[in-house]
Structure 1
Amino acid sequence: MNGARMPPSSTGVTGRYIAYNHIVARPSMTQQKPAGAASVALGTIRNIERRERGDTDDTLDAIAAALGVTPCGLIAYGEHASTRTRDALPALAAAITAYDGPFPSAA
């Protein structure tokens, strides 16, 4: 899935969790190791950690796999919804609106 890039987190939690997982939990791991394993640029990891760049679902999945954690382990609960869910909301709202009206009476 090609998700839209999320804006940098207002809390920076995702970046802090990524940094924690390669600095504290695995002290010998540099930013280069998860970047290489996730096939993302080193600058991507750096910028997410610094809250200078948002992430995509695909990038987050790849970084999580490289760190040996689940993607949920890198985001704060409710920090952002998955791209698929967020993208589906307008169509869902339109469908609800189309059915939210007077229903014909059964004769």
Structure 2
Amino acid sequence: MAWRRQFPESLKPGQVRTALTAVNQKTLEAPSAFTKEGWLNIGLYGYQPDAADFYITTGSLYLCAAIFLPLGLPETDPFWSSPAAPWTAVKAWTGQDFPGDHALDLH
């Protein structure tokens, strides 16, 4: 959605950027995030094979690489240039009021 510049009004680019950055950092910092050959392991934080469904394979993990699409945006794009902002989970766990997240109809 960042690449298409189609965030709904309820999501600010800085909010999305800071959330995606936190997810990337947490996921990739796990000591067992990668195999000894350098491939991603199945899991959210390191090797957690029981979290996978039967159809999940190592190749499936790389479908998540779409999270890096905003890297192709220029530094002037609002995704990069807007101020950092807390996302829903941060607001919730720090006692701030927040609007509920809902499914979006993007058609």
- The two structures have a TM-score, normalised by structure 2, of 0.28
Choose 1 or 2 for highest CA Rg.
1
User: What TM-score, normalized by structure 1, do the two folds share?
Assistant: 0.28
